[in-house]
Structure 1
């Protein structure tokens, strides 16, 4: 396809974003009694929200379904064209049907709507023409009217699909707050990948991967060096004879001690250690350990089980798990 040599790419892109942003902002006037009632019905529904559409609206419907399912609202996608060729069988009596269409007059929509009505299901229309067939037949309307498409020919679904997506997000977020859906709930549905790990991976899950380096207050310099080297974490905890945490020794502490040119023969762990080490409870989320490391500009934390030292969590553990 030949390029139009007069186009200013930056101007066109900014105009598109501005038009779509304005369309989303205008949706606020359409948050009405129908919208509120739809949220209530879906929140209290004993079935699922079956979302359908044709063309680009069908793609938006799939995204809305994905968002709802991942945030605790049971939803199902049904393509409007496939619905009239057998997929209507997926609709149960207790389901609510949400039909998405800009025009509300597509041929497939006109066939599908009477069938849904005959089933007795509540029909919600997310539609850009409130005088359309779909809008007139629906029990409730989610108005996504836009003044024009961002497409210069005012044809390709651009602004209209953006408005549909935003309205779907508004519905989903209302349902999240209605149900009190928490980050812990979210983690149940997102166990894979870095996102899931941020929501469920605990300090203990990582600290247990290593031996827990430790020395006593009276341990010699040689014993300290051997312990740090053998455990390969660049650090060791310092404990008293009862196992109580007293301090921490890092590679940096050793270097600073050697730079003082002191006699090393009588040096013990107590002489080298830093007191009041940074620590975190082992049942804390690993992402919280990362925040502590960033806050204090360090690369490891002591993991604690109550008052007892249980191990080390290292920045490398978080990198390996994709938390960073």
Structure 2
């Protein structure tokens, strides 16, 4: 067997073990899982998630997922908690503690301290008979028969199981809260979905200068304006109102059709009544217009129907709208 075959064999073995562990989870979910979800849902405070070692890393990921799906969560390292960070926990908070064995020294010190504060404790552990499981108000059974590690030592299957159960917990809460894609966008304003929900034309036209010429501007001035503003287009305006548009394509066609340019003005080659959009319209509306008319630039106007700027297709692509 060559090196490639051995590597793939080992990788498939790892995936097989973890796949089996995940598949078993749905059969092991019981009323305690639902109890844990409802306890978090009905809590007045936050979810404080804690753990040690690799479980602490998984805890941080669960915190991130909960926060992004509408459930306030804070990470607290179990070792730091007993050295000052216990103050992270407020009276109305619920504590979710991750520990594969459920009996690490840090957990044995931390849990009694939390119980003395009368905070609800949810355990996520593989060992239902562990110290953590016995002390908890609710148990999420993160059963992992064996690690994928050939020595059954490195946390692999156990952390995968914790990660998957964290997702199940977060999405069960998402469903209870009726958390919509609009809500998700509010928590992810920098993501593609958030931008699609909130980004306006005014946000994009502010990135550029406003190319514009008057109707009687000579062709040289038009070419310079298009080149200088680097948008491949210029608006033609009279007293701030848009009367036409000239694109670099219009310039090329003019050069092909006219040997003599003397006397030609912006009005001579402009397209009248160009497509426009209000500057406070959503960027997605602008995209619909661009796609409908197979154009790459769109002129924006304000409340007085005055010229406000240019939106370019590339702006939408850059922001992930397209």
TM-score where L is the length of structure 2 = 0.78
Partner residue of 2:252?
Answer: 255
2:74 to 73, 76, 81: 76
Structure 1 range deviating more: 62-71 or 125-134: 62-71
Q: CA offset at residue 120 of structure 1?
A: 1.5
Partner residue of 1:96?
Answer: 94
Partner residue of 1:38?
Answer: 36
Secondary structure of 2:139's partner? strand
Q: Deviations over 1:174-211 (max 9, x none)?
A: 444516362442146x6xx9998777654323423433
Confirm or deny that 1:148 pairs with 2:146: yes
Secondary structure of 2:159's partner? helix
The total of aligned residue pairs comes to 317
Q: CA offset at residue 261 of structure 1?
A: 3.7
Q: Deviations over 1:208-235 (max 9, x none)?
A: 3433222355654344324323434321
The gaps in structure 1 that reach 5 residues or longer are none
Partner residue of 2:59?
Answer: 61
Confirm or deny that 1:160 pairs with 2:146: no
Verify the 8 A CA contact 1:30 1:142 in the aligned structure 2: no
Verify the 8 A CA contact 2:185 2:194 in the aligned structure 1: no
Secondary structure of 1:233's partner? coil
Partner residue of 1:185?
Answer: 186
Secondary structure of 1:115's partner? helix
Verify the 8 A CA contact 2:185 2:193 in the aligned structure 1: no
Structure 1 range deviating more: 298-307 or 36-45: 298-307
TM-score where L is the length of structure 1 = 0.77
RMSD: 3.8
2:307 to 300, 309, 320: 309
Structure 1 range deviating more: 99-108 or 168-177: 168-177
How has the CA–CA distance of structure 1 residues 83 and 303 changed in structure 2, closer, same or farther, with 3 Å as cutoff?
same
Cα distance in 1, alignment partners of residues 187 and 169 from structure 2: 17
Cα distance in 2, alignment partners of residues 54 and 320 from structure 1: 41
Cα distance in 2, alignment partners of residues 101 and 296 from structure 1: 58
How has the CA–CA distance of structure 1 residues 135 and 295 changed in structure 2, closer, same or farther, with 3 Å as cutoff?
farther
How has the CA–CA distance of structure 1 residues 21 and 94 changed in structure 2, closer, same or farther, with 3 Å as cutoff?
same
The gaps in structure 2 that reach 5 residues or longer are none
- After superposition, where does 1:184-223 map in structure 2 within 5 Å? 184-187=185-188, 202-216=200-214, 219-223=217-221
